[in-house]
Amino acid sequence: MQTVKMVISGAVNAGKTEFIKTISEIEVVSTERRATDDTRLIKKETTVAMDFGRIAISDDLVLHLFGTPGQKRFDFMWEILAEGMLGLVILVDSTRPETFRETNRIIDFFVSYRDTPYVIAANKQDRPNAWSPEELRLALRQPPHIKVLPCTATDRESVKNVLLELLYVIQERSED
C-alpha cells in the first residue's frame, strides 16, 4: 500500500480542521483541546496537535491529509509534517487581516527551503467583508504564478476544487 501526503496549514482559526473534515472519508482524527492561551479569544477549542484525514485512491494507494497546529508553540510539528509531502494548501481566513502576517510566516517556513508545490485557499468567502483572492494575493505578496483560490471550507465542491488545483500544480512537475 502506497501512501501520499498533503499538508493543510494556516493561522489559528483559518479553517484547517473544517477543510479536512469536509473531504475526508474517515472521521477526522483531531486533537482539539480547550484553548489555553490567547487563541481562546478566537475560538473555544483549537487544534493543539493536528488533524488527520484520509482518502482512499485505490486498493493500493491512499492520500493522507494532515492539518498543522495553528499555534506558534507547536511549530516543531511543522517540520515533521512537511517531510515528504506531496503538496501544501495554505488556508487563510479572508475576513481577518490580522492573521495575514502569521500566514506569511507559515508560507515562508514551508516554502523557503523546499521547492514545495502549494496553493493558497482564501477561506470564508461566503462571509461579509471577506477579502477577495486577488486582494489576498496582494496582501500576502504572492507572485502571479501562485494560485490564490476562493474557498469555503464547509463546502465539499469548494474543497475539492482547491485540492484539484493543487494536484494540477503537482502534475506539471511530475515525471512521465
Partner 1 sequence: MALVGNIRDFSLSDFLSLVDRGYKTGALHLSYNDQTARLYFEKGKLLLAARRPEDEKPELLVRLGVLNADQLAQACRMLAARGNGATLSQVVIDAGMVSTERLQSALMGHTEQSVYGLFAWPEGDFLFEHNQRPAPDAPLAPVPISIDHLIMEGVRRIDEWERIRDRIPSTDLVPRFLAPPGEKLKGMRLSPDEWKVFARINGRDTLAEIAQKTGLSDFDVCRAVYGFLTAGMLELVKRQRVLAAGMPPVEQPRLKKSLVNRIINRIRSM
Q: Which residues bind partner 1 (CB under 8 A)?
A: 2, 4, 23, 55-58, 61, 63, 84, 86, 97-98, 100-101, 104-105, 108, 112-117, 128-132, 134-135, 138-139, 141, 156, 160, 163-164, 167-168, 170-171, 173-176
Closest separation between CB of residue 40 and partner 1, Å? Answer: 18
Nearer to partner 1, 17 or 125 (CB): 125
Instruction: Considering the complex, state which of residue 34 and residue 144 has its C-beta at the smaller distance from partner 1.
Output: 144
In the block, which residue shows the cell 471577506? 130
Residues with Cβ within 8 Å of residue 152, at least 6 apart in sequence: 123, 124, 125, 126, 158
What gap in Å lies between CA 58 and CA 46, rounded to an integer?
A: 32
d(CA 95, CA 129): 6
Nearer to partner 1, 5 or 32 (CB): 5
Give the nearest distance from C-beta 35 to partner 1 in angstroms: 20
**CA 67 – CA 19 distance, rounded (Å):** 9
Report d(CA 170, CA 156) in Å as an integer: 21
Q: Which is nearer to partner 1, 45 or 79 (CB)?
A: 79
Report in angstroms how near the CB of residue 129 gets to partner 1 at its nearest: 5
In terms of DSSP bridges, do strands 2-10 and 87-93 run parallel, antiparallel, or are they unpaired? parallel
CB of 36 to partner 1, least distance (A): 23
| Alpha-carbon Rg for the chain in angstroms | 15
Of 43 and 127, the one with the shorter C-beta distance to partner 1 is 127
